[in-house]
Amino acid sequence: MSMLNYMLRRLVQAIPVMLIIMVGTFLLLKLAPGDTVDALVGDMGGADPRFIERLRAEYGLDQPVLMQLWIYMTKLARFDFGWSFVHEQPVMTVLMDRLGTTLLLMISSLFFAVSIGSLLGAIAARKAYSLTDNIISTLGLVFYAMPSFFLGLMMIVLFSVKLGWLPVGGIQTIPSFYEGWDYVKDVALHLIMPTASLSLIYLALYMRLMRTSVLEVADLDYVRTARAKGAGEWRLMVHHIMRNALLPVVTLLGVQFSTILGGSVVVETVFSLPGLGELAYKAVIQRDMNMLMGIIFLSSIVVIVVNFLIDLLYARLDSRIELT
């Protein structure tokens, strides 16, 4: 089947997925007790009934659920994500404000995790069962097993309070108004601990996966044949093993994009980073429906595109899989 056909089919299938997600989430969230007004009023520390009634009518929350769903979906068709009553701004504005921080955090964490993790995993596989292997593997597992928020808090205590090397939180030093290179350095400093907290878990994952994959593939016929032919070990590793061992790593990468957003919820909260993760948590707690739907919509699109690309990459890497 041609590539173009495949692409079109995937695109067409993505649409019902999105619909299922949006409608399903909307209805699911409506099942949660309470709504935005309850959360807002709770935040304020109290209000009288007239105020609350007025707020509800204002937000359209006094209408039947299906009506609200209909209104929402029609707006969505025009790419109008609606108004966030909690933030008093259009959802799109808030999302765009926050997207940069989270993307930066995610990309640097994944980059760090994949590169260092794969490298360590390959080294461990090369020296399989030796002491080096055991140390690397166990260390990786310890990183993996440690809750990221615990690690984050301990790092703050050590590096910010005791040593004063790194800032406690936030994305930049207010109001220093750095420009250019200074600004980049300032943001980078603020991201060191959050990236470390978030990435160590995925680092361990990639390390183990790479190690397992390399070991698996090293055993297969065509690799043995290559070795028997006298091709050098380095060439072996890079061309044959790496190419096939990348398969599960690539699969996992597709999965991680969605998971790491969840991981960023906690890390962003600990470090007070203004990102999508913290936004999502607040949106659930405050029943900010429009905001939550906006986040889910945005991340859904990203994940679908990423998965699609990964499947293509996958098929190219393993020529034995047919894309029926």
Partner 1 sequence: MLKLSRWLAPSLLAGMVAGSAILPAIAADEEIKRGGTLFYHMVSEQRVLNPALRASNGVYEITGKIVEPLIDRTYDGYVGVLATEWSGTDDGKEITFKLREGVKWHDGKPFTCDDVSFTAMNFWKELLNYSSTLQANLEAVDCPDPHTAVFRYSRPMPLNLLVAAMPDLGHPLPKHLYEGTDLLQNPYNAAPVGTGPFKFVEYVRGQYVIAERNEDYWRGEEYPYLDRIVWRFITDRSAAAAALEAGEIQESGFNGISMADIARLSEDPRFDVGTKGYENNVAHSTIEFNHRNKALADVRVRRAIHHALDIDRAIETIMRGYAKPGRGPIPSAGGDNYTDDVRTYEYDPEKAKALLDEAGYKPDANGVRLRLRHRPAPWGEYTQLWAEYFAQSMREIGIEVTLLTNDAPGFLNGVYRDHDFDTANGWHQFRADPAVSTMVWLRSGAPVGTPWSNQFGYENPELDKMIDDAASELDPAKRAERYHEIQKLAMEELPVIFAIEHPFISVTSKTLKNHHNTPRWNSSSAYDLWMDQ
Partner 2 sequence: MSVLESEIGTAPPSGWSVMWTRYKRNRAAVLGLVLLVIVLAMAATAGFVEPVDPLRRAGDPLVPPFTDWATPLGTDQLGRDILAGIFHGARTSLLIGIVSTVVAISIGILVGAISGYFGGWIDDVLMRVTEAFQTIPNFVLLLALVAILGSSLQNMIIAIGIVSWTAPARLVRAEFLSLRGREFVEAARNLGVGDAAIIFREILPNALPPVIVFASVIMAISILLESALAFLGLGDPNFASWGNMIGAGKAVLRSAWYCAAIPGIAIVLTVLAFSLIGEGLNEAVNPRQKKS
Given a contact cutoff of 8 angstroms between Cβ atoms, the answer to whether 17 and 304 are in contact is: yes
186 binds, among partner 2, partner 1, none (CB under 5 to 8 A by kind): none
Half-sphere exposure of 274 (CA within 13 A, CB side): 10
**Near partner 2 by CB under 8 A: residue from 245, 249, 265, 273:** 265
Instruction: Decide if residue 219 touches partner 1 (CB under 8 A).
Output: no
- Collect all residues with Cβ–Cβ distance below 8 Å to 204 and sequence separation of at least 6: 117, 140, 141, 143, 144
| Amino acid identity at 137 | S
Query: What residues from 140 to 199 belong to the interface with partner 1 (CB under 8 A)?
Result: 153, 156-157, 160-161, 164, 167-172, 174-175, 177, 179, 183, 187
Q: Near partner 2 by CB under 8 A, which window of 86-94, 115-123, 150-158, 235-243?
A: 150-158
Q: Compute how many other C-beta atoms are within 10 angstroms of the C-beta atom of residue 8.
A: 11
The CA-atom distances, in angstroms, between 247 and each of 21, 30, 152, 295, 321 are 28, 40, 32, 29, 12
Instruction: Decide if residue 295 touches partner 2 (CB under 8 A).
Output: yes
Specify the 3-state DSSP secondary structure of 319.
coil
Burial 313-322 (b: 16+ CB within 10 A, else e): ebeeeeeeee
Q: What is the DSSP string of 142-159?
A: HHHHS-HHHHHHHHIIII
Distance in Å, CB of 229 to partner 2, minimum: 18
**Near partner 2 by CB under 8 A: residue from 6, 149, 159, 178:** 149
Instruction: Decide if residue 100 touches partner 2 (CB under 8 A).
Output: no
Nearest to 196 by CA among 150, 159, 148, 161: 148
Query: What residues from 115 to 144 belong to the interface with partner 2 (CB under 8 A)?
Result: 126, 128-129, 134, 137-138, 141-142, 144
Q: How far apart are CA 106 and CA 66, in angstroms?
A: 36
Supply the DSSP symbol for 48.
Answer: -
Could you tell me how many residues of this chain bind partner 2 (CB under 8 A)? 66
**Near partner 2 by CB under 8 A: residue from 107, 184, 285, 309:** 285
Binding mask 4-43 for partner 1 (x = CB under 8 A): ----------------------------xxxx--xx-xxx
Q: How far is CA 142 from the centre of its chain?
A: 21
169 binds, among partner 1, partner 2, none (CB under 5 to 8 A by kind): partner 1
Q: How far apart are CA 157 and CA 163, in angstroms?
A: 8
Q: Which residues bind partner 1 (CB under 8 A)?
A: 32-35, 38-39, 41-52, 54, 58, 86-89, 94, 96-101, 153, 156-157, 160-161, 164, 167-172, 174-175, 177, 179, 183, 187, 269-272, 274, 278-279, 285-287
Q: Which residues bind partner 2 (CB under 8 A)?
A: 13, 16-17, 20-21, 24-25, 28-29, 31-33, 126, 128-129, 134, 137-138, 141-142, 144-147, 149-150, 153, 157, 205, 208, 212, 215-216, 218-219, 247-248, 251, 254-255, 258-259, 261-263, 265-266, 269, 280-281, 284-285, 292, 295-296, 299-300, 303-304, 307, 314, 318, 320-322, 324
